[in-house]
Amino acid sequence: MASLLNAARPPAFCPGCAHERSLHALDRAFETLALGPDEVAVVSDIGCSGLFDTFFAAHTFHGLHGRALTYAAGIKMAQPQLKVVVTMGDGGIGIGGAHLLAACRRNLDLTLLVLNNFNFGMTGGQCSCTTPPQAVVASGFLNALEQPIDICSVAAAAGAPFVGRASAYQPELARLLSEAIGYEGFAVVDIWGLCTGHYSRRNRLTPDEIERDMATLPTFTGLVARNQRSEYGARYRRVRDASAAGDGEEYEMAAIFPLPVKDRREIALLGAAGDRINSAGSLLAHAAILGGMQATQKNDYDITVMRGPSVSELILSPEPIGYTGVERPDLVVALAPEGVRRKAELFAKMAPTGRVLCEKGLVLPATAARLLEVDFKRHGFRRTERALAALVLLARGGDPITLAMLEGGLRRISRGEILDAGLDLIERAKAVPWPPRESQQ
């Protein structure tokens, strides 16, 4: 195979820049692997390392600073047969550190060349995440306050299965790069070299000194034994193809029961996180749909998962539903003070014909609605059971759903042990004396 370098665009690095050596080493690696221009994608980002894509006549993709690994991930997942080679500088590693860690963990078959020259060459020689503290750079004293990172140790610690460190002046660089590209998994090669435009004008640094400095760090020559595992893309496809189709697909429901009430009902279920308020709302909607109603359901809760209010607002109507807000509910189920506080303003707006089914002893805001108090605790219902039990009591009165609709809805949205427990709960709630003596505040 021939060189993949772009004959029309010769390299344009500063005289003496180490990147040019790395460029030719990468091209020799492509030749060694006999790769054609359509078999390689060179993905780069910002900085002098971002010139690499220009100098190759292959598939190329040049993007934003430090983000090359993210583009490469999409390309590789979409075109698994491509050899995807990413070039980044030490600057890109700094700004895109999260992507490096993620790539090491993920082990998608990409090859990352870090063109490490200890400073931002393109923007004036500022310090990067690999600048030694004693170096003189364009960031004043700031680099003296920070410690440089060892890219290879970080990559190995994050799970990279192939990690190499090399000087751009080593004759065996091309062989290391061809091994990295040939490796099926994420491979990182940290290539140290001179930035003659900035760094080596202010700091004494030679290829020999680079070798000496490298020798003070752990040696990385390729395979990291403890990180060997199967490649992400191949594994993704294997697991995906072995998985059954999603079980959560949407389903259509037809009306199989007569319409229980002719009018629209606005309903608010008020509880606390963990009270299964949202599940009860969903069940109520499903039951209503089986009775030929349309439904909307929106939930309100805090960002805390197992604490705070949980509210489900529903509109059930034989007619299409426009506005989804519940402002003057016909029915409120109040099970916990958290939910009552969240929607306190609803109570004053309720009409005398409205109903509030509430846990006995719960303090409610003033309302004209009829109060139906239930001592769920005395009847042996746990907190997680009370929302469903409340629906059973409502269904026993046939408004806004019937018991048959409720059971139909339950069979629609649950199965196995959950269904059995739900059916059992329905039976227990049928035994509660109902309706209670109504009270008014």
Partner 1 sequence: MGLLFIDGNQAVAMGAVHAGCRFFSAYPITPASGLLAAMLERLPAMGGIVLQGEDEIAAIGSCLGASMAGMKAMTATSGPGISLYSENISFAIGGEIPLVIVDVMRQGPSTGAATLGADGDVQFLRWGCSGGLPVIVLAPGDVRDCFTLTVHAFNLAERLRCPVFLASNKEIGMTRETVAFESIDKPSVSGRKHHQGGPFLPFGVKEGEEVPAFLPIGGPVPVRQTSSTHGADGFITTDPKQIQAGVDRLQRKIESHVADFMFHEFEKREGAGTLIVTYGVTARAAKVAGSMVLRDPGKPVSVLVLKTLWPVPEQLLLQAVEGVERVLMVEMNLGQYVHELRRVLGRERVHFLGKMDGRLISPGEIAKAVVHG
| Positions that interact with partner 1 (CB under 8 A) | 9, 37-38, 41, 43, 53-54, 57-64, 67, 69-79, 81-82, 98-99, 101-102, 236, 240-241, 243-254, 282, 285-286, 289, 294-303, 321-325, 327
Residue owning tokens 């916990």 = 336
Taking the complex as a whole, how short is the minimal distance between the CB of residue 354 and partner 1, in angstroms? Answer: 18
Of the pair 298, 379, the CB lying nearest partner 1 is at 298
Taking the complex as a whole, how short is the minimal distance between the CB of residue 8 and partner 1, in angstroms? Answer: 9
Taking the complex as a whole, how short is the minimal distance between the CB of residue 321 and partner 1, in angstroms? Answer: 7
Q: Between vectors from CA 222 to CA 217 and to CA 228, what angle results, nearest 5°? A: 115
- Cα–Cα distance, 75 to 419 (Å, whole number): 44
Of the pair 295, 369, the CB lying nearest partner 1 is at 295
DSSP assignment of 295-358 equals EEEEEEE-S-SSSSEEEEEEEEESS-------SS-SEEEE--HHHHHHTTHHHHH--TT-EEEE
The DSSP 8-state label assigned to residue 49 in this structure reads G
* Phi/psi-derived region of residue 125, left when phi > 0, alpha when psi is between -120 and 50, beta in every other case: left
* Burial track 189-216 (b if 16+ CB lie within 10 A, e otherwise): bbbbbbbbbbbbeebebebeebeeebee
From residue 171, alpha-carbon distances to 17, 257, 350, 382 in Å are 16, 81, 84, 74
In DSSP terms, which residues pair with 190 in a beta bridge? 114, 165
- Cα–Cα distance, 363 to 340 (Å, whole number): 9
Of the pair 295, 405, the CB lying nearest partner 1 is at 295
In three-state secondary structure terms, 193 is coil
Structure-token pair, residue 52: 């690499």
Structure-token pair, residue 301: 């809760």
Taking the complex as a whole, how short is the minimal distance between the CB of residue 56 and partner 1, in angstroms? Answer: 9
Yes or no: say if 271 and 336 are a contact pair by the CB < 8 Å rule: yes
Of the pair 365, 397, the CB lying nearest partner 1 is at 365
Residue 253: how many other CB atoms lie within 10 Å = 12
Closest to 23 in 3D by CA, of 174, 186, 165, 220: 174
Of the pair 50, 161, the CB lying nearest partner 1 is at 50
Of the pair 217, 351, the CB lying nearest partner 1 is at 351
Yes or no: say if 303 and 318 are a contact pair by the CB < 8 Å rule: no
Taking the complex as a whole, how short is the minimal distance between the CB of residue 254 and partner 1, in angstroms? Answer: 5
Residue 441: how many other CB atoms lie within 10 Å = 12
Taking the complex as a whole, how short is the minimal distance between the CB of residue 393 and partner 1, in angstroms? Answer: 23
Taking the complex as a whole, how short is the minimal distance between the CB of residue 42 and partner 1, in angstroms? Answer: 10
Of the pair 72, 166, the CB lying nearest partner 1 is at 72
Residue 80: how many other CB atoms lie within 10 Å = 15
Tell me which H or E stretch contains 97: helix 97-106
Of the pair 167, 297, the CB lying nearest partner 1 is at 297
Of the pair 35, 194, the CB lying nearest partner 1 is at 35
Of the pair 184, 424, the CB lying nearest partner 1 is at 184
Of the pair 66, 193, the CB lying nearest partner 1 is at 66
Count the residues in the chain.
441
Structure-token pair, residue 79: 């075109």
- Cα–Cα distance, 287 to 406 (Å, whole number): 5
